[in-house]
Each structure stands twice: as structure tokens, then as C-alpha cells.
Chains A and B, each alone.
Chain A
């Protein structure tokens, strides 16, 4: 990687950013490790929409979702020395941070209407059409994952959504649905297992 990074290291401005866009996330993180803001900007451009979408799905408030995404990216930037590529992709790491922080924010702000995607501002914030082959591939993978979730029996998809996007514990879900805790856990397990079957091996499916 030496030659490539040496040539990039001396660069700056938008021209440099354009050249950085051909690099994989893991290569960019090596530059981010060296405090290269332009490499981080490419990471941001690649994953900001996914991060914001997840945060908004959980928080259901634009300002709160934006705060979460900002915190998550700054956490990624400031924790760059701790990134280990063997432990997963940059996207998975980032979205894990976004998920945890969204749930924390949800509990902190005691948002009661969680899980409901408000219409607030959505029209002008809908993601732009696909620009690259990677965008197209991601959209297709996302559709497959949505299909896999929607094809589950309602009681299984519901407990998964309440847990992952609603930030509810299995105890809270059991109470809300007036269903035994063991049943809720079983539905989660069955639902995830069926999704795994439907998706084949979705490891790192959305990179």
C-alpha cells in the first residue's frame, strides 16, 4: 500500500478526495488513523445516509437522529486508533455505534412514539437515486432483507422490530403483547433463523 498512500498523503483538496473514493473503507481507515480528514469525508459520504436512516427509524425525530449520527461519526473519528478490520467492516462498526446511541437517546428522551416513522420532512430527505454500482447492489440487498423480514409471520417480525428498532427488552415486549417471555424469545430466535435461511449467508451483506 506504501506507494499509493504516499502519493495520497501529499495531496489535499477535492482532487485528493476524488482519488480517495476508489479506495476500500479499510484502506481509508488507515489514512483516517493518520488523521486524514479527507479520507474520513469519503467514509462519511459512503455511510451517512445509512447511518441517518437507521437513527431516524429508531428515534423518529429528525433533530435527535442528526445528533446521534453526528455523535457516531465523531466517535468513529476519535476512536479511529481502535478500529480493527478483523472485527468487522467499517459500516458494521459504524451502524453498531448508531444503533447503540439511538437506543440510548431513545431511552434518555423517553420518546414514546418510537418505532413509528413520522412524515416529518421525509419527502425532501428521501435518499437520492443510485449513483454507483455499489449503491444499486446495496439497494438490492436491502430489498432482499426487507422481503425476508416481511415474509416472517407477523408475531415474529413484530418482536424483532420492537427489539431492534424500538429498543425494547424482551420483558417489555412480553408485557406489551401480553405474551410469556419465553414465547417472545422463541419468536425472536425463529424469526432470525428463518431470515438467515432466506438470505443464505448474509455475513457482511451490506458493505
Chain B
């Protein structure tokens, strides 16, 4: 980068560090500045300096008591997760005792088709594996994602789902991501609307039970969400 380029960059980004750490850039600006940080040590340094102040701001809020009922709700969900994980682990353990050959035989007709693309889709969409190494035994379904470099998985535990997303682009201005579920009919909206972090990450709970749900998908919608999808899905996780 030339001195001139550096000067231009500095002028362009100099005052974006503060709104960046406060979450006050528009989506487009946020994404552009995030990319800019990769190449601008000055801005990285400024962001690091201001971020510590922004991280301390929660202390400014009047301190309140969360109350016992909220704790009961949270811990009930946690214990439910633990219980269902243990049950799933037992089921997986029993399945593994029957031998891995069964699983291979189940997939063999699909793989035998020889179509690499089809196999890739099968792997991407239906790759379900036990959650060792800390996933607590939850069922994890890898989703199809656009763009291809992004990643998304649906973690299913205790009849509930959570999308773990990384590398997704920021939504355009005045738009958010919306989660949809499909049972037998068309997609049903949920109230799960979200944006992603500067790194494109998000962890989003799928509202309600996943009983009978065949597909969980995400589209980009106007602020406030839509009742029917207005854009093509960018994330599709198939449960069956």
C-alpha cells in the first residue's frame, strides 16, 4: 500500500472505529470497515483501544435483579438439554454396538449413483453425527449455505434447534435474516430475526419445537420480517 493509499484509507476509516465498536455503523459500512481492518493496522489499533471502553458500557445500566423465575426457566432448559443429550448418547451407543456397517449399507445406494454432486449434497445436508468433543451429544445437521464459503449447522437437542452460523455476509441496509420452518406445507415464519457479527457469526435459537419440522431455512427480509419469503433461502437445513 502506498503512502497515498494509506492516507486515503485513513481518511475514509478514521472516524469509523468509534461507531464500529458501538455497533452504530450501517450494515454495509460495518462489513466494509471489517474488511478494511484486515489491511489497516492504524484502525485495528484504534478499534482495540476503543473496544475496551465499549465493553465496559454495560456497567452503566442501572443494576437490577434478574429474579428467580428467569433462573428457573434457564436452568430448566439446560437440564432438559442434558437429559436429552444423555438419552441420545445412550441411543447412539446402542446403535454403534450394532456395528458401523449398517450405516454404510443405508447410504450405499446413494453413493453408488456415482454422482459426486449428489453425494456432496447428501453429505452437506444430511451429515448427522454425534456431538462428541463438547457438543453435548446434540444432533448436528450441516446446512446448505450461500455463499459457499460460509458455514451453518443446525444443532438439535431436546426437540429444539439452534443455528450456528459463521462467515455469512452482512445483510443489506434495512434488511435482516429471518428463520423459517417447513413442515408439510409452505414455509412458516418465525420471530427469529437476526443480523450477524462483524465476522459473519450468529447463534440463533429456532423458536418452538422442531417436532414434525422437515426444513429450517433462512432468507433475507425487510426489517421486521415477512410473512412469506421475499427472497431465496441462503441457508437450508433438512431434518428428514
Contact = CB atoms under 8 A, between A and B. Distances in A.
B146 interface: no
B24 A74 contact: no
Interface in A69-90: 69-71, 73-75, 77-82, 88
Contact of A170 (B24, B70, B135, B137): B24
Interface stretch (B72-80, B90-98, B111-119, B210-218): B72-80
B57 A164 contact: yes
B59 A48 contact: no
| Prevailing SS type, chain B contact patch | mixed
Nearest to B194: A104
B65 A164 contact: no
Interface string B173-209: 0001000000000000001011101000001010000
A106 B219 CA distance: 20
Given A70-B70, A78-B162, A108-B224, A92 B55 contact: yes
Contacts, number: 213
Given A33-B134, A35-B82, A48-B66, A206 B56 contact: yes
Contacts of B176: 104, 107-108
A164 B205 contact: no
A125 B136 CA distance: 34
B18 interface: yes
Interface residues of A, number: 84
Contact of B75 (A44, A139, A170): A44
6 closest cross-chain pairs (CB), A and B: A81-B134, A57-B61, A163-B24, A188-B18, A142-B59, A52-B66
Interface of A: 33-35, 37, 40-41, 44-45, 48-54, 56-57, 66, 69-71, 73-75, 77-82, 88, 92, 95-100, 103-104, 107-108, 110, 117, 122, 125-128, 138-139, 141-142, 145-146, 149, 160, 163-165, 167-171, 173, 182, 184-186, 188-189, 191-193, 195-196, 199, 201-206
